[in-house]
Structure 1
Amino acid sequence: MTARDTSPKDDPAIIALGALGWILQSDSRGERFLALTGLDVDTLRARAGTPHIMMAAIAFLENHEPDLIACADALDRAPADLVSARRALEDICDRC
Protein backbone atom coordinates (compact mmCIF):
# COMPACT_ATOMS: atom_id res chain seq x y z
CA MET A 1 0.00 0.00 0.00
CA THR A 2 1.45 3.36 -0.99
CA ALA A 3 0.47 6.88 -0.03
CA ARG A 4 -1.37 7.12 -3.36
CA ASP A 5 -3.47 4.07 -2.50
CA THR A 6 -4.86 5.51 0.71
CA SER A 7 -7.00 8.44 1.69
CA PRO A 8 -5.74 10.49 4.63
CA LYS A 9 -8.33 8.75 6.82
CA ASP A 10 -6.87 5.35 5.91
CA ASP A 11 -3.20 6.32 6.06
CA PRO A 12 -1.50 3.92 8.51
CA ALA A 13 0.53 6.76 10.02
CA ILE A 14 -2.60 8.84 10.67
CA ILE A 15 -4.31 5.86 12.29
CA ALA A 16 -1.24 5.10 14.41
CA LEU A 17 -0.78 8.70 15.52
CA GLY A 18 -4.44 8.77 16.50
CA ALA A 19 -3.86 5.63 18.54
CA LEU A 20 -0.78 7.13 20.17
CA GLY A 21 -2.76 10.25 21.04
CA TRP A 22 -5.48 8.11 22.55
CA ILE A 23 -2.93 6.20 24.64
CA LEU A 24 -1.44 9.42 25.97
CA GLN A 25 -4.82 10.91 26.94
CA SER A 26 -4.71 8.74 30.05
CA ASP A 27 -1.86 9.30 32.48
CA SER A 28 -1.91 5.69 33.67
CA ARG A 29 -2.08 4.27 30.15
CA GLY A 30 0.65 6.64 28.97
CA GLU A 31 2.89 5.68 31.88
CA ARG A 32 2.29 1.99 31.15
CA PHE A 33 3.16 2.56 27.47
CA LEU A 34 6.41 4.27 28.42
CA ALA A 35 7.29 1.58 30.94
CA LEU A 36 6.60 -1.30 28.58
CA THR A 37 8.40 0.25 25.62
CA GLY A 38 11.34 1.57 27.63
CA LEU A 39 10.84 5.02 26.14
CA ASP A 40 11.17 8.24 28.06
CA VAL A 41 9.08 11.34 27.41
CA ASP A 42 11.82 13.18 25.52
CA THR A 43 12.47 10.25 23.19
CA LEU A 44 8.76 9.80 22.60
CA ARG A 45 8.39 13.47 21.69
CA ALA A 46 11.38 13.35 19.35
CA ARG A 47 10.39 10.12 17.61
CA ALA A 48 6.58 10.01 17.80
CA GLY A 49 6.17 10.15 14.02
CA THR A 50 8.59 7.35 13.23
CA PRO A 51 7.25 4.01 12.04
CA HIS A 52 8.82 2.17 14.99
CA ILE A 53 7.07 4.30 17.60
CA MET A 54 3.78 4.19 15.73
CA MET A 55 4.02 0.39 15.47
CA ALA A 56 4.83 0.18 19.18
CA ALA A 57 1.71 2.19 19.99
CA ILE A 58 -0.58 -0.16 18.11
CA ALA A 59 1.24 -3.27 19.37
CA PHE A 60 0.74 -1.93 22.89
CA LEU A 61 -3.01 -1.78 22.24
CA GLU A 62 -3.05 -5.21 20.63
CA ASN A 63 -1.57 -6.67 23.80
CA HIS A 64 -4.56 -5.46 25.84
CA GLU A 65 -7.72 -6.09 23.85
CA PRO A 66 -9.99 -3.83 25.96
CA ASP A 67 -7.71 -0.89 25.12
CA LEU A 68 -7.59 -1.89 21.43
CA ILE A 69 -11.38 -1.93 21.27
CA ALA A 70 -11.78 1.30 23.25
CA CYS A 71 -9.22 3.08 21.10
CA ALA A 72 -10.81 1.85 17.89
CA ASP A 73 -14.19 3.06 19.13
CA ALA A 74 -12.73 6.46 20.04
CA LEU A 75 -11.17 6.76 16.58
CA ASP A 76 -14.39 5.54 14.92
CA ARG A 77 -12.51 2.60 13.42
CA ALA A 78 -12.68 -1.16 13.57
CA PRO A 79 -10.00 -2.80 15.74
CA ALA A 80 -8.83 -4.62 12.60
CA ASP A 81 -8.05 -1.22 11.03
CA LEU A 82 -5.50 -0.56 13.76
CA VAL A 83 -3.94 -4.00 13.30
CA SER A 84 -3.79 -3.44 9.54
CA ALA A 85 -2.12 -0.08 10.10
CA ARG A 86 0.57 -1.72 12.25
CA ARG A 87 1.17 -4.33 9.57
CA ALA A 88 1.48 -1.63 6.90
CA LEU A 89 3.98 0.23 9.07
CA GLU A 90 5.94 -3.00 9.53
CA ASP A 91 6.12 -3.33 5.74
CA ILE A 92 7.49 0.22 5.57
CA CYS A 93 10.11 -0.59 8.22
CA ASP A 94 11.13 -3.75 6.41
CA ARG A 95 12.01 -1.60 3.41
CA CYS A 96 14.02 0.89 5.48
Structure 2
Amino acid sequence: MHVTPAEETAIAILAWLANEPELLGRFLALTGTDPASLRHAAADPGFLAGVVDFLMGHEPTLLSFCEATGTPPEQVVRTHAVLSGPDNSGDF
Protein backbone atom coordinates (compact mmCIF):
# COMPACT_ATOMS: atom_id res chain seq x y z
CA MET A 1 0.00 0.00 0.00
CA HIS A 2 1.41 3.37 -1.04
CA VAL A 3 1.19 6.03 1.68
CA THR A 4 1.27 9.61 0.46
CA PRO A 5 3.11 12.44 2.25
CA ALA A 6 -0.19 13.88 3.47
CA GLU A 7 -1.25 10.51 4.85
CA GLU A 8 2.14 10.13 6.54
CA THR A 9 1.64 13.47 8.30
CA ALA A 10 -1.89 12.52 9.37
CA ILE A 11 -0.64 9.19 10.73
CA ALA A 12 2.12 11.04 12.63
CA ILE A 13 -0.57 13.26 14.17
CA LEU A 14 -2.57 10.19 15.18
CA ALA A 15 0.55 8.59 16.71
CA TRP A 16 1.24 11.79 18.65
CA LEU A 17 -2.37 11.89 19.87
CA ALA A 18 -2.00 8.32 21.10
CA ASN A 19 0.63 9.60 23.54
CA GLU A 20 -1.56 12.49 24.72
CA PRO A 21 -4.32 10.76 26.76
CA GLU A 22 -6.43 13.86 27.37
CA LEU A 23 -6.39 14.91 23.71
CA LEU A 24 -6.91 11.36 22.50
CA GLY A 25 -9.91 11.00 24.78
CA ARG A 26 -11.42 14.20 23.41
CA PHE A 27 -10.73 13.11 19.83
CA LEU A 28 -12.32 9.71 20.39
CA ALA A 29 -15.35 11.30 22.02
CA LEU A 30 -15.80 13.75 19.13
CA THR A 31 -15.41 11.11 16.43
CA GLY A 32 -17.24 8.27 18.14
CA THR A 33 -14.25 6.03 17.45
CA ASP A 34 -13.01 3.56 20.03
CA PRO A 35 -9.33 2.83 20.64
CA ALA A 36 -9.61 -0.71 19.25
CA SER A 37 -10.72 0.53 15.84
CA LEU A 38 -8.10 3.28 15.40
CA ARG A 39 -5.69 1.16 13.36
CA HIS A 40 -8.43 0.13 10.94
CA ALA A 41 -9.83 3.68 10.75
CA ALA A 42 -6.37 5.07 9.93
CA ALA A 43 -6.61 3.38 6.52
CA ASP A 44 -9.56 5.63 5.62
CA PRO A 45 -8.57 8.95 4.00
CA GLY A 46 -11.74 10.56 5.40
CA PHE A 47 -10.76 9.56 8.92
CA LEU A 48 -7.23 10.90 8.39
CA ALA A 49 -8.74 14.19 7.21
CA GLY A 50 -10.70 14.27 10.49
CA VAL A 51 -7.50 13.70 12.48
CA VAL A 52 -5.86 16.69 10.81
CA ASP A 53 -9.03 18.75 11.16
CA PHE A 54 -9.06 18.02 14.89
CA LEU A 55 -5.50 19.28 15.22
CA MET A 56 -6.17 22.35 13.07
CA GLY A 57 -9.17 23.26 15.20
CA HIS A 58 -7.05 24.31 18.18
CA GLU A 59 -3.89 26.31 17.52
CA PRO A 60 -2.15 25.49 20.85
CA THR A 61 -2.61 21.77 20.11
CA LEU A 62 -1.30 22.27 16.57
CA LEU A 63 1.76 24.07 17.89
CA SER A 64 2.34 21.40 20.56
CA PHE A 65 2.32 18.70 17.88
CA CYS A 66 4.68 20.70 15.67
CA GLU A 67 7.09 21.35 18.52
CA ALA A 68 7.06 17.75 19.73
CA THR A 69 7.61 16.25 16.28
CA GLY A 70 9.63 18.93 14.50
CA THR A 71 6.90 19.25 11.89
CA PRO A 72 6.53 22.71 10.34
CA PRO A 73 3.00 24.11 10.84
CA GLU A 74 2.88 24.79 7.09
CA GLN A 75 3.16 21.05 6.46
CA VAL A 76 0.10 20.42 8.62
CA VAL A 77 -1.79 23.17 6.77
CA ARG A 78 -0.86 21.60 3.40
CA THR A 79 -1.86 18.18 4.69
CA HIS A 80 -5.22 19.56 5.81
CA ALA A 81 -5.80 21.14 2.40
CA VAL A 82 -4.88 17.94 0.56
CA LEU A 83 -6.89 15.52 2.70
CA SER A 84 -9.91 17.81 3.00
CA GLY A 85 -9.79 18.86 -0.65
CA PRO A 86 -12.20 17.81 -3.38
CA ASP A 87 -10.15 14.88 -4.68
CA ASN A 88 -8.52 13.65 -1.45
CA SER A 89 -5.55 12.39 -3.46
CA GLY A 90 -3.21 12.62 -0.49
CA ASP A 91 -0.35 14.03 -2.58
CA PHE A 92 1.24 17.39 -1.84
* TM-score of the two chains, using structure 2 as the length reference: 0.80
The runs of 5 or more residues in structure 2 that have no matched partner are none
Moved over 4 A (4+): none
Partner of 2:38: 44
Percentage identity across paired residues of the two chains: 29
How many residues are matched? 87
Partner in structure 2 of residue 93 of structure 1: 88
The structure, 1 or 2, with the larger RCO (C-alpha pairs under 8 Å, 6+ apart) is 2
User: SS where residue 93 of structure 1 aligns?
Assistant: coil
**Partner in structure 1 of residue 26 of structure 2:** 32
Q: CA deviation at 1:29?
A: 1.1
- Mind listing any 5+ residue stretches in structure 1 that lack a counterpart? none
Aligned residue identity for 1:80: E
Is 1:69 paired with 2:63? Answer: yes
Distance 2:24 2:41 in 1: 15
CA RMSD of aligned residues (A): 2.2
What residue number does 1:56 align with?
50
Tell me the distance in 1 between the aligned counterparts of 2:36 and 2:16: 18
Quote how far apart the aligned CAs of 1:40 are. 1.5
What TM-score, normalized to structure 1?
A: 0.77
In structure 2, the partner of 1:79 is 73
